Amino acid sequence: MMGKRLLSFVVLNVILVCVVCEDKRPIISSAKGSVHRNAYATMMYMGTPRDYEFYIATRVMLRSLRELKVDADLVVIASMDVPLHWVHTLEEEDGVKVMRVENLQNPYTTATSQQWRFKLTLNKLYAWKLVTYDRVVMLDADNLFLQKTDELFQCGTFCAVFINPCIFHTGLFVLKPSMTVFNDMIHQLEVGRSNPDGADQGFIGGYFPDLLDRPMFHPPPRNDTKLEGTYRLPLGYQMDASYYYLKLRWSVPCGPNSVITFPGAPWLKPWYWWSWPVLPLGIQWHQQRLQTLGYAAEMPVVLIQAMFYLGIMAVARLARPNLSKLCYRKEEKSVFLIQVGFKLIAIWVILAAYIIPFFLVPHTVHPVIGWGLYLLGAFSLSCIAINAFLLPMLPVLVPWLAILGTLLTMAYPWYQDGVMRALSVFAYAFCCSPFLWVAFSKIISSLQVSLEREAFLPRLAGENASPSVFNKLY
């Protein structure tokens, strides 16, 4: 009897060993303890002026995926120079698995006129090293997920979307990790494979040149089915935001409308506060951030700036007499060049009042807060010009009112399409231009009157007149 039990125990262990050895890859467990065979991955690297903004964008995208309850791990391929406290935040607060890597040397840096922001994008090739997963969906940080896309894990060894008629987009693609493919890609880099843009887009596009001729991906009916080969993904998985701006609605006929991408100019990415209402979809990204990450990191700076601007308005009003004395002083003789220079200084001060606050607002704050803080800053700094040069308030604030009206015109939510919206903004700007010119003329005439009063009227009053007493009257 004991022999039979021992024999059964041995047979059971042999079976278990065979089952485990059948899949040689280690099992990766999520924070919840469930087994994940697939992953959503993105990358982070340092060396650009926008590192923090992309860090915030990455966290928002990963948290939105977690809110969608995707059945996959979340992975960040982070270069070794990414700050450790960022890595710890991703791991501990966002439940992300971080893979630290050395930056891949870009051999195309001197061979092409590529932009500096693409220098380290070849780190994306490390996605093929994630061999613990069956499939990986590689993402850029500027993707906005509208719904779960786990069906992509059923796609083949490489799948991507053609948002350009002839070139697929590497902002989202599906891959089957393979050390063989990764090593071959590194070899292709070393031998100087042709790359039209010197970045990941050109290199990966050249590595899979026949994707345009491959069939369209349609998810198999069974969730556990994995396709082989390469496939084109429907456009609904990479809906270019520019498609939306023409119609102000989505009308993508092929595939689910699942993911929005923002491949345009870097300074119009949706996480910047000025992206809305300039771009209507900017507010949608910030709504997602509000639901996931929040804005606690930026609010202290916002409050400090708001208090600072309020203080400037109070001080400028109280110090009005002294400020004007610094600008208007009696001269022995009137010099035309001095007057012209004085007017130019006044105009530059007014322009600075509208420009400086724009660059002081935290870049990734909510658009409503950002524009509110900008308008408060512009108003407070304009008060300095008004009180220092004794200018009438309304003409100086006409640009302020014009900016506010432009924002309201762009934010109007009931335009029929993007063409009507653009025409409305153009018409508003056309109607504002006469008011801006009149305001400019009023400012110049006011400066001229003040100069003439300060320079000549004391002299006309006679030698016995007191300039200091006279100046106080004006």
Question: Tell me, what CATH number does 94's domain have?
Answer: 3.90.550.10
Domain count, the chain: 2
- How far is the C-alpha of 254 from the C-alpha of 196, rounded, in Å? 29
Do residue 111 and residue 233 come from a single domain? yes
Looking at residue 328, its pLDDT comes to 54
In terms of Cβ atoms closer than 10 Å to its own Cβ (0-12, 13-18, 19+), residue 170 is buried
Do residue 51 and residue 111 come from a single domain? yes
Share of the chain above pLDDT 70, in %: 82
What are the tens digits of pLDDT across the range 53-99? 999 999 999 999 999 999 999 999 999 999 999 999 999 999 999 99
Nearest to 107 by CA among 217, 193, 227: 193
Domain boundary pick from 292, 317, 344: 292
CA atoms within 13 A on the CB side of 111: 12
Nearest to 185 by CA among 116, 102, 106, 125: 125
Which band of pLDDT confidence, cut at 50, 70 and 90, is reported for residue 330?
low
Do residue 333 and residue 209 come from a single domain? no
β-partners of residue 139 are 172
Looking at residue 229, its pLDDT comes to 94
Domain boundary pick from 292, 323, 339: 292
Q: Are 396 and 386 in contact (CB under 8 A)?
A: yes
What are the tens digits of pLDDT across the range 93-143? 999 999 999 999 888 876 444 566 678 889 999 999 999 999 999 999 999
Residue with the larger pLDDT of the pair 28 and 165: 165
Looking at residue 3, its pLDDT comes to 45
Which band of pLDDT confidence, cut at 50, 70 and 90, is reported for residue 4?
very low
Average pLDDT (240-259) is 81
Average pLDDT (141-149) is 94
Do residue 334 and residue 366 come from a single domain? yes
Q: What residues make up the domain containing 421?
A: 299-473
What are the tens digits of pLDDT across the range 333-355? 456 677 778 889 899 999 999 99
β-partners of residue 421 are none
Do residue 377 and residue 450 come from a single domain? yes
In terms of Cβ atoms closer than 10 Å to its own Cβ (0-12, 13-18, 19+), residue 26 is exposed
